[in-house]
Amino acid sequence: MFSRTVYCGAKAATAHVARYQLRCFSQFPLSVPINLPNGLEYEQPTGLFINNKFVPSQQHKTFEVINPSTEEEICHVHEGREDDVDIAVDAADKAFTNGSWSTIEPAERGQALYRLADYIEKDADIFASIETLDNGKAISNSKIDVQLVINYLRYCAGAAGKFDGRLIDTGKTHFSYTRKEPLGVCGQIIPWNFPLLMWSWKIGPALAAGNTVVLKTAESTPLSALYACKYVARAGFPPGVVNIVSGFGKIVGEALSVHPKVKKIAFTGSTATGIHIYQNAASTLKKVTLELGGKSPNIVFADADMAATVQNIIMGIYFNAGEVCSAGSRVYVEESAYDSLVDQFVKASESLKVGDPFDETTFQGAQTSQNQLSKILGYVDIGKKEGATLLSGGERVGDKGFFVRPTIFGDVKESMRIVKEEIFGPVVTVTKFKTLDEVVDLANDSQYGLAAGIHTTNINNAIKVSDRLKAGTVWINTYNDFHHAVPFGGFNASGIGREMGQEAFDSYSQVKAVRAKLQ
């Protein structure tokens, strides 16, 4: 998908004519005008962002960004390599050691984050449109994302002055206390499913704590984070505090994870890649947080409000076209309510509008890439071959764009791959259970442990089950219901550490103990 062709204005330079390429490299724009399908226009930055400036990549390479809804090229952006990572890390390290950010009044850091949130809020329609253009998600989903970004940056701004240590009473002979200090340069690697939201989840707590960052965007969705950087300097962040190197995981991600000047790695993505990054980071004993995959159970008891529960299941599995790590992809329904619930769920799923993501009435937009669409349809075939019953969906929509119908499988066995493996798309399995103990065992029978849902009007059962589930987040009578003050992260193969809440700030600071002997 990602070409190495380099653009010179509107013209492409061929790979064979080196002299012509060199002329074009110097002319490759650091921004391009974009006309959005909803009539909005804006200027899209395409360079790397280092020291508060958009700059070309050192090796003058670019890659194309595809619109998942049309399969057409949006633009090319500069592709970072190892030398670009070195430059960005050096800029971040200098900004940290010179104290222009790490040692200023915490309130000043908070004010810069508040201003950044204000700029995003003023430009919210453009940001939402970029997410929809670049990622393929429905514009209604993108607007939710942008508001979550604004809320979280403001939450981080308010926390900037609250990195307090404590006074420790160790007797009259010594004065003992702790202080929380920033780590230094933080390398951050974000996924393609929530480009702007994950950008905020990463930079917000890191900057509030006084760190500097070098962030790698996902190669398929780099546009919104680059656009956000046009406001970094205006918001009051000194040069080098926020840096973005667009590029590929095997190059930029690898370089960040082993770089000796990077003190912390934060990664959101697949479990397999997270394990690799964790191993790399061990070579320099970096602090690491990993928000990884999931195969989350969504449990329905017979006493639940079924109409509300169906909508919660829909939000759990089809929100963001199912490209959600916490997606409720395993639905367990109490036996006496199974037939009724499945009937309502199938009808509701088939009424959802799939298509043009810029249409305000669309619920589910496109999958983000051809690879993801192929993976989803491949799992549909696997489910059929394994003997599951396809109750609804399971097919591509249209012949252009990466669209797929919401898909429901019944008559599944727990050993089936569609039950065990993360599909990362709008595909759900539905299973009966008889007892509370049985459903807890079924829910916990997974290598993952990111999230879970419980639907019941019996609060006692809700608490009993939530206490026994091996999941970092349990939603009761709701699903995919995030709040900036509530930590999010997983157990087991779903990761290490937490995003959001006070716990995220703890991951971006270290404790220093001071003990002075009194005379």
**Active site positions, annotated:** 291
H-helix or E-strand containing 297? strand 297-300
Per-residue DSSP letters for 111-141? HHHHHHHHHHHHTHHHHHHHHHHHH---HHH
User: What pairs with residue 216 in β-bridges?
Assistant: 189
Q: How far apart are CA 413 and CA 408, in angstroms?
A: 14
Dihedral angle of Cα 512, 289, 62, 403, to the nearest 10 degrees: -150
Nearest CA to 201 out of 121, 267, 122, 116 is that of 267
* Residue 22 burial (C-beta neighbours within 10 Å; 0-12, 13-18, 19+): exposed
User: Going by DSSP bridges, is the β-strand pair 41-45/31-35 parallel, antiparallel, or unpaired?
Assistant: antiparallel
Do 275 and 496 meet the contact criterion of CB atoms below 8 Å apart? no
Nearest CA to 193 out of 357, 371, 323 is that of 323
User: Going by DSSP bridges, is the β-strand pair 407-410/389-392 parallel, antiparallel, or unpaired?
Assistant: antiparallel
Q: How far apart are CA 219 and CA 249, in angstroms?
A: 8
Q: How far apart are CA 485 and CA 151, in angstroms?
A: 10
Residue type, 438: E
Q: CB-side exposure of 296: number of CA atoms within 13 Å?
A: 32
Per-residue DSSP letters for 309-342? HHHHHHHHHHGGGG--TT---EEEEEGGGHHHHH
Q: How far apart are CA 64 and CA 2, in angstroms?
A: 6
Degrees, nearest 5: CA angle 150-152-157: 95
Which pair of structure tokens corresponds to residue 81? 């390599």
Q: How far apart are CA 19 and CA 12, in angstroms?
A: 14
Position of tokens 């790698």? 216
- Helical residues (DSSP H) of 160-264, grouped into ranges: 195-208, 223-228, 232-235, 254-258
Q: Which DSSP symbol is given to 488?
A: B
